[in-house]
Amino acid sequence: MVPQARMQHTREPSICSSSHTVETQGMSRRRLLAGMALLPWLSACSNGAWVRSAWPGHQWLAPELQDHPLVGQTWTMKATDAAFNGRILQGDPVQHNQQVDLAQWLTTLPQGAWLMLGEQHDHPDHHQIERQVIQWLADQGRLGNVAFEMAPQSLQPQLNAALGLGDEITAEMLNWPEAWPWADYGPVVRTALNHATRVVATDLDREAQQLAYHQGPPRPALTEAQAQALDELIDAGHCGYVPKAQLPMMRQVQLARDQAMAQALLAATQPERINVMVCGRVHARKDLGISRWLPGKQPVFSIALTAVEAGLLSAGDYWQAGIDGVPRFDLYDFTPALAPHDHCADLARSLGREPQID
């Protein structure tokens, strides 16, 4: 059986950390083991008002840092060279951060665009925001197709049959993958089924991922920097337990998945509407994920749903440069955090190893 390169086990490295550390956040043991079973060797202008008003009675679901100053806010973050008296200063670029109203920003998206919602997979507020965005676009008459990383392409017939019947659909009726708990994704999928023109299954099935592991993706990494970044993500996401020699094969799976999802999105683009992709934050990265495999003429916008961190109080604290000079995201939308949990210790115990103590 082939290692799964899906990075549902890890938070994007350093996206919210000035110390460039890698963490895993808030993943259930069941989700951890489900993913590991695929490894053969290891079994004001504040968005807060918009979020709360979009669904009457909205409350944050994640328990930690609800009073953090960024919670409920949405920010653009761009970097340019700093100029002083006509001279370009050397060193880190200056960040041009701007708080925006998410609903207003959504109205500016061009027809035919894909909107990537990059989530932390087990974060309940991220799922709720995804549902709200889909519902809001539907209420505005702008919603096109909605695609899911979580749905392998073999589920497309079931999704087609369920279109318009979201309130009646169960996980069993869709043959929904157990690795993606229906309690988390059911409300988002049902909302999409009720309102989208089409709900699109995008990911490769396991057999196709196995083939990519052994034979490689249709196209290799675009640059050495992209390949290295993916290897580092996979290694960190598996807490260093993946043999280094296996990383290139797991990267091949990740590349094949991103390329397949890009093709699925391209084929499913509603040219007069706004199309939505629900996926993990690594897949949503414009410098590293699905967007790198879409043609330049295809408009793509990406939102990083981001759990805040204690001590990182300004939006600029969360900015990091992208690979090959490509920005990671267009927006960062900030939510409370889940309670800290050591998932590497869970993984170590599942492997019969002693957890590492820093």
List, for residues 183-204, the tens digit of each pLDDT value: 999 999 999 999 999 999 999 9
Q: How many residues does the chain have?
A: 358
Q: What per-residue confidence (pLDDT) applies to 45?
A: 35
pLDDT per residue over 273-295, tens digit each?
A: 999 999 999 999 999 999 999 99
What span, in angstroms and rounded, lies between the C-alpha atoms of 136 and 237? Answer: 33
Tokens for 269?
A: 């683009």
Q: For residues 18 and 112, which has the higher predicted lDDT (pLDDT)?
A: 112
Count other C-beta atoms under 10 Å from residue 20's C-beta. Answer: 8
Domain boundaries, the chain: 29-350
Q: What per-residue confidence (pLDDT) applies to 82?
A: 41
Whether 119 has a pLDDT exceeding 50, the answer reads yes
Q: Contact 252/3 with Cβ under 8 angstroms?
A: no
Q: At what angle do helices 206-215 and 247-267 cross, to 10 degrees?
A: 130
CB proximity list for 1: less than 8 A, separation 6 or greater: 38, 39, 40, 210
Residue 59: pLDDT band (50, 70, 90) is confident
Q: What per-residue confidence (pLDDT) applies to 149?
A: 98
Q: How far, CA to CA in Å, does 204 sit from each of 43, 51, 71?
A: 21, 33, 35
Q: What per-residue confidence (pLDDT) applies to 57?
A: 54
Question: What one-letter code names the amino acid at 260?
Answer: A
Q: Contact 265/277 with Cβ under 8 angstroms?
A: yes
Residue 350: pLDDT band (50, 70, 90) is confident
CATH architecture of 29-350: 3-Layer(aba) Sandwich (3.40)
- In order, the DSSP letters of 313-349 are -SGGGG--PPGGG--S-SEEEEE-BPPP--HHHHHHH
Q: For residues 351 and 300, which has the higher predicted lDDT (pLDDT)?
A: 300
Cα dihedral sign, 82-88-17-3 = positive
- In the chain, the percentage of residues whose pLDDT exceeds 70 is 78
Q: What per-residue confidence (pLDDT) applies to 356?
A: 60
pLDDT per residue over 98-117, tens digit each?
A: 899 999 999 999 999 999 99
* DSSP classification of residue 64: B
Whether 332 has a pLDDT exceeding 60, the answer reads yes
Count other C-beta atoms under 10 Å from residue 258's C-beta. Answer: 29
Whether 170 has a pLDDT exceeding 90, the answer reads yes
* DSSP classification of residue 76: E
Q: What per-residue confidence (pLDDT) applies to 42?
A: 31
Q: Contact 258/293 with Cβ under 8 angstroms?
A: yes
Q: Contact 307/36 with Cβ under 8 angstroms?
A: no
The pTM of this model reads 0.82
Question: What one-letter code names the amino acid at 356?
Answer: Q
* Range among 68-82, 154-168, 332-346 rated most confident: 154-168
pLDDT per residue over 211-252, tens digit each?
A: 999 999 999 999 999 999 999 999 999 999 889 999 999 999
Helix (H, G, I), strand (E, B) or coil at 150: strand
Q: What per-residue confidence (pLDDT) applies to 95?
A: 57
Q: For residues 320 and 351, which has the higher predicted lDDT (pLDDT)?
A: 320
